[in-house]
Structure 1
């Protein structure tokens, strides 16, 4: 109905405007009722003499009790000396008054002044969805848990991985050499304890039984331990090559020759003090080489 009325007003004959006579614009809503927050369009049309210059309200204008959402301006249309300017404003309201109205102006620019001409106010009725409010307001509780799909927090995992990598890199940069030295000393001590335990076991069996097989196992264990300790193929050397490797060490020379004679000469006796002493000499020599390697690692750590 309002749209039809607006259309009829636009089609009415328009008198010739002269002097200071300025016709009023026509403004109307596109519907009679509105809900809270609902969008509504307001159309503003002004017909005037082509010689007059007018300006329609911009977005900064106070549209209270409404607020503007967007606007659309249409180009000026001129025919027979009469110009038509129009705009459509999309509005909404959050006020609770039952009846709300709006009247927008047009600004007529004159030589020394600006004339403000308002359209007739148009009204809309706010639909009341809540008819009656009881006091006090009842509180409706809902304590049921809503199922929420679990999501894997990839950004946090990546952040933790990066932070951990940076932290470990910093620790390694500062304490890396100390950590490596400590680990080498730990492995060195563990290997020597393992060797000493097994070597003493073979030595005890040899003392009790006088078996050349026990002595052979003890000497083989001694060579394998020094191979790992010195990082050299000592277990493949002959007795002469081992003595030369250790710069003709007297204790190594004596102990290995006594052991070779006992193993290959089959003259071992249970109460042979020389053979027992030879095995003890090899054990002491292995311990001295362990201490020498330990000091080398400690000195290398302190000189860095």
Structure 2
């Protein structure tokens, strides 16, 4: 028993001696009063010998009845062998006690041991916002509807956009070629009807007036239409090149030479039957080429030589 007492005394004497040598830390609140939930700062200052290694409380320390919001440490200042450590703690409390206090210690590192030096206690008064509570409590009900601003449902729009894109992509994947073919046939038919209407108007005007301008416009319209239909620059070809382009077609050769004679020869004062027949031959040939192009478009997936309708070659000028 005596040995145990001697051991305890030997262990505590150095700590007591050190505690007498190390000054106690001092702390103070920035205000005498505090409100529940609102922050208040607590400043801790400790002066000690420069040779001592001191640790101030950190985030893991229990600050009850307060809670730690933020801590700010400042560098150690040493002058004439005396060092000063300081820290500012931002605290808040949700305790309802009228008077609340806190005492923060410092820790002295000595070898493998740590010695705690307690500081003075600092108090703060809790400022009560509610001084009187009526019993029983009165509850006020409010059942009026509050208008809420309508918001656009962007997720639904995005969902429908994705679904719509997938649906259109699927339709195009399955029926895209058919749709393209139908559209091309529609354009071919529309262009041919438009050409036929205007071409007939020029023929009628030429028959009635015999003016070479009407004949020239009819031939120009014929060349421009075939240019678009054949996808070749036929409107820039000479009569000889056009005949060669269509494999020396006798009807085209005969009709174009009659038209050239009437336009450039300036020998007719009125429309003759032969020139009119030449215009009709050109119209009939155009209809033949339209039907050929339509058949090629319908059978786009098959051989381009379907039904013996070959694409005529272009003669380079």
**Same fold by TM-score greater than 0.5:** yes
Q: Does the 8 A contact of 2:57 with 2:106 survive in 1?
A: yes
Query: What's the counterpart of residue 200 of structure 1?
Result: 200
Rounded to whole Å, the distance in 2 between the matches of 1:284 and 1:94 is: 102
Name the CA shift for 1:70/1:50 in 2 (closer, same or farther; >3 Å).
closer
Local SS of the residue matching 1:255: helix
Rounded to whole Å, the distance in 1 between the matches of 2:95 and 2:125 is: 10
* Alignment map for 1:92-241 (pairs within 5 Å): 92-97=91-96, 98-109=98-109, 114-132=114-132, 135-136=137-138, 187-204=187-204, 209=208, 211=210, 217-230=217-230, 231-234=232-235, 237-238=238-239
Rounded to whole Å, the distance in 2 between the matches of 1:205 and 1:51 is: 120
Q: Does the 8 A contact of 1:103 with 1:118 survive in 2?
A: yes
How big is each residue's C-alpha offset from its partner over 1:148-195, in whole Å with a ceiling of 9 and x where there is no partner? xxxxxxxx9xxx9xx99xx9xxx8xx98x9698877665544332211
Query: What's the counterpart of residue 7 of structure 1?
Result: none
How big is each residue's C-alpha offset from its partner over 1:256-292, in whole Å with a ceiling of 9 and x where there is no partner? 455567775548688x5x6654433221101222334
Query: What's the counterpart of residue 16 of structure 2?
Result: 20
Per mean C-alpha deviation after superposition, the further-off stretch among 116-125 and 182-191 is 182-191
Rounded to whole Å, the distance in 2 between the matches of 1:112 and 1:260 is: 119
Rounded to whole Å, the distance in 2 between the matches of 1:219 and 1:53 is: 109
Unaligned runs of 5+ in 1: 1-16, 147-155
Query: What's the counterpart of residue 39 of structure 2?
Result: 38
Alignment length, in residue pairs? 259
Per mean C-alpha deviation after superposition, the further-off stretch among 193-202 and 126-135 is 126-135
Name the CA shift for 1:197/1:114 in 2 (closer, same or farther; >3 Å).
same
Name the CA shift for 1:253/1:101 in 2 (closer, same or farther; >3 Å).
same
Query: What's the counterpart of residue 59 of structure 1?
Result: 59
Query: What's the counterpart of residue 248 of structure 1?
Result: 248
Unaligned runs of 5+ in 2: 1-12, 305-317
Q: CA RMSD in A?
A: 5.0
| 1:283 has 2:283 as partner | yes
- 1:35 deviates by 3.5
Rounded to whole Å, the distance in 2 between the matches of 1:190 and 1:118 is: 101
Rounded to whole Å, the distance in 2 between the matches of 1:283 and 1:223 is: 11
Local SS of the residue matching 2:100: strand
**TM (normalized to structure 2)?**
0.57
Local SS of the residue matching 2:16: coil
- 1:244 deviates by 4.1
Q: Does the 8 A contact of 1:34 with 1:40 survive in 2?
A: no
Local SS of the residue matching 1:218: helix
Query: What's the counterpart of residue 312 of structure 2?
Result: none
